[in-house]
A = this chain, B = another copy of it.
Amino acid sequence: MRPDTPGEQETVADLGEFGVIGRLTAGRAHPAATLLGPGDDAAVVSAADGRVVASTDVLVEGVHFRFDWSDPEHVGHKAVAVNLADVAAMGAVPTGVLVGIACPPTTRASVLDRITAGMWQEANRAKVGVVGGDMTSAPTVVISVTALGELRGRDPVTRSGARPGDVVAIAGRLGWSAAGLAVLKRGFRSPVNVVAAHRAPEPPYAAGPQAADAGATAMVDVSDGLLADLGHVATASGVSVDVRTDLVEVHQRLLDVASALGGDPRGWVLTGGEDHALAATFPGPQAVPDGWRVVGTVGRPAASGPAVTVDGAPYAGPAGWQHWR
């Protein structure tokens, strides 16, 4: 674990469970969606139309983040962002997050303060509060976040509604997190905005409900990589998806990183995970709302079944991130 503020030697064991929870929840302002915040057995959150959207993800030190590559603030930010992106990918508006943190008793209290500062920062960007949580001890730092959202009368946009003739479009960045990871793996800390994209992704939350309002037929959070996540849409919808490389932007910054360090910038864009862009299908180009970029089309499934192709052919590179493999 990285060094903390000098003089701040207090550990979570010194403070005790309730002391830590008190530090993490005290004095925070909550938006209107928080009907009852932290401090009781459970929180109460708005679910305006009688339905709640909920998603949970677990991040593990050494698997999803490293404290020598990311500050505690980034870790907290990312844990919240990846879950809120899942809620947005249903077409829902975020309403709150619940947080579980397990960490060694020797963890400095200031590290937890910084993790939760990052959580609150990203929660505030999504206009929600950290409404509840749990703290406990574990050999490694493990962070679980559950994000809640409300549909406000919209139908949820699932992965299974894509139809032949639809177009595929993207909101948010692709490839930046993979480029940032490549930089960190080589021991560098810059370009700063590429590294920041890996440490603390900023998913385009508002693009989720926007796509739902525009008639998106399917939507997914790009967490495993564009091709892998479009593969989930293809399978769930029983269609094939073709991505056209002439439509997929590879930002100059990624080209610069690739030329400095080596690496395949188009591969980062097509298969790099953790950017938490949104990918959606729309009934035609005219339905694609502002801020979304068309990158491909939906067709009938291949004879062998649903598939994702690039420029009409199978993609030769690695398919995307899977745990345990």
A interface with B by C-beta (< 8 Å): 12-13, 15-18, 20, 35-36, 39-60, 62-64, 86-87, 89-90, 92, 96, 98-102, 105, 131-140, 142, 144, 146-149, 151, 156, 158-160, 219-221, 236, 322-325
Contacts and interface: CB of A to CB of B under 8 A. Distances in A.
A50 B47 contact: yes
Q: Determine how many copies of this chain the complex contains.
A: 2
Residue among A138, A148, A221 facing the most chain B CB atoms (10 A cut-off)? A138
A9 to B, nearest CB: 15
Given A48-B50, A137-B63, A139-B139, A236 B39 contact: yes
Which 8 interchain pairs have the tightest Cβ spacing? A47-B47, A144-B144, A42-B55, A58-B100, A146-B146, A41-B89, A52-B52, A56-B98
Contact of A323 (B39, B137, B151, B236): B137
Contacts of A325: 13, 16-17
Given A44-B52, A47-B51, A50-B50, 13 more contacts: A15-B324, A17-B322, A18-B322, A36-B158, A40-B158, A41-B55, A42-B90, A49-B50, A56-B99, A58-B102, A62-B139, A100-B144, A144-B144
Nearest to A92: B42
B102 A41 contact: no
Contact of A102 (B142, B148, B156): B142
B148 A41 contact: no
17 contacts: A13-B324, A17-B324, A39-B236, A41-B90, A42-B87, A42-B147, A43-B55, A44-B53, A45-B52, A47-B47, A47-B52, A54-B98, A55-B98, A60-B137, A62-B139, A64-B136, A140-B140
A15 B46 CA distance: 38
